[in-house]
Structure 1
Amino acid sequence: MRSGTDVERYTAKVRDYLRRQPHNLALQKVRSGKSLTPADLESLEELLARSGAGNPEYMERAIANAQGLGRFIRSLVGLDQQAVQEVFAEFLGERTATASQIDFVNLVISHLTRHGEMDPKLLFEAPFTDTAPQGPTQLFAPEQTRRLVGVIRSISDSAGAATA
């Protein structure tokens, strides 16, 4: 599958290029988990075009596979750990958290920092089930579990463009 390899090579080149652009404001918003505006997305498109990483077809395919430009970029650069910790500090601060709850949330933070987004279904798979074999419902009350999923979704969704 040559085209798959080419897209992977393109993705690696773009990832390397983006890591060398720490002052780009739109890229900073992606890493901090802030919502993107249409202007931010334009800036990111220009950044990709300037990367010289390869064929525009690879870029289009990679963006389609990631379900959008913001999500593609975030999958490459991840999220700033401090920004994610701040969001979850509010969640954990609502009630006194147990050590197991904190460990579980730290796993979520680690996943989001590395991957930039998360499908809440993963909460019921390893490594999360190593801490709570039945998933978050074993550690959190139903309302807390819903809030946890809501926080994860809001962080993941922030890589998409704002509609206004």
Structure 2
Amino acid sequence: MLLNFVSRKVLTHQRVLVPFLEKKTRKIVYTSFKDKVLGIRDSVFIAMPKMTGVQYEKKVREYLRNHLDHLVIHRLRSNQPLTETDLQGLEQTLTEIGEEDGQTLLDGLLTHSGAPSLTWFVRSLVGMDRTVAQSAFARFLSDRSLTPYQIRFVEMVIDQLTACGVMAASALYEPPFSNLHAGGPDALFDGKEKVIEDIFNTLNLVHSSLSSRTA
């Protein structure tokens, strides 16, 4: 009981003395900073293309695949020569796919593909009508003097043109053609030089309808 009484007295005295304790004062510091302008840089506007080259190529491939019955594309697949109007219309169509950057995108696509002309590039995507390709090489298919391997060689040329539309003459010395004979077409058609020469000439003739004019 005595201990509790003493504790209460001490607390009471502390409460009385608190208002008389000296309070520490803090000095208020005012700052004033001024920004120093080192220079003004003109903003540079960088125009970003709305469509990338990859996106454009995808759209071109999709368009051609879905318009095989278009007159100009049909003529290319049928190995028919195009008029100047046909060429201009084809170029305009592919340019419009790329919107305002169409011409730049088309030029870049042709350069990247390595195609010598716009028509060559387009036919490499749409292929060649198989009946037309067979007709071009019909005399070789009906030549009874040719061996089965030689006939197969001609059939493979037709297969390639049907699938890819175009092919370089140098491809005849590479697989799958070289699989028929390691020595290439010259060895495969040994003794029939006139035949293999005519095959090369026919291949060149198939490509003659493709204008060398680029976009």
For this structure pair, what is the TM-score category when the shorter chain's length is used for normalisation?
A: 0.7 to 0.9
Alignment match, 2:165: 116
Count of matched residue positions in the alignment of Structure 1 and Structure 2: 157
Q: 2:203 aligns with which of 131, 148, 152?
A: 152
Distance (Å, rounded) in 2 between the aligned partners of 1:70 and 1:101: 30
Higher relative contact order (CA 8 A, sep 6+): 1
Matched AA of 2:115: A
Alignment match, 1:3: none
Two-structure CA RMSD over aligned residues (Å)? 2.2
Secondary structure of the corresponding residue to residue 137 of structure 2:
helix
Alignment of 1:1-164 (within 5 A): 6-52=52-98, 55-56=101-102, 57-64=104-111, 65-94=114-143, 96-140=145-189, 141-160=192-211
Q: Using a 3 Å threshold, how does the CA distance of structure 1 residues 84 and 133 change in structure 2: closer, same or farther?
A: same
8 Å contact kept, 2:140–2:154: no
Give the C-alpha shift of residue 83 in structure 1.
1.1
Greater percentage in helix: 1
Q: Whose radius of gyration is greater, 1 or 2?
A: 2
Distance (Å, rounded) in 2 between the aligned partners of 1:13 and 1:53: 11
Distance (Å, rounded) in 2 between the aligned partners of 1:87 and 1:143: 17
Give the C-alpha shift of residue 143 in structure 1.
1.2
User: Structure 1, residues 52-93: CA drift from partner, whole Å, max 9, x if none?
Assistant: 578321211223431111011111111112211111113333
Matched AA of 2:57: T
Distance (Å, rounded) in 1 between the aligned partners of 2:164 and 2:116: 14
8 Å contact kept, 2:77–2:123: yes
**Which structure 2 residue ranges, 5 or more long, are not aligned?**
1-51
Between 58-67 and 20-29, report the one with greater CA deviation. Answer: 58-67
Identity percentage of aligned residues: 34
**Which structure 1 residue ranges, 5 or more long, are not aligned?**
1-5
Distance (Å, rounded) in 2 between the aligned partners of 1:98 and 1:152: 20
Matched AA of 2:65: R
Distance (Å, rounded) in 2 between the aligned partners of 1:7 and 1:99: 45
Report the TM-score, using the length of structure 2 for normalisation.
Answer: 0.65
User: Structure 1, residues 72-121: CA drift from partner, whole Å, max 9, x if none?
Assistant: 11111111122111111133335533211111111111211222111111
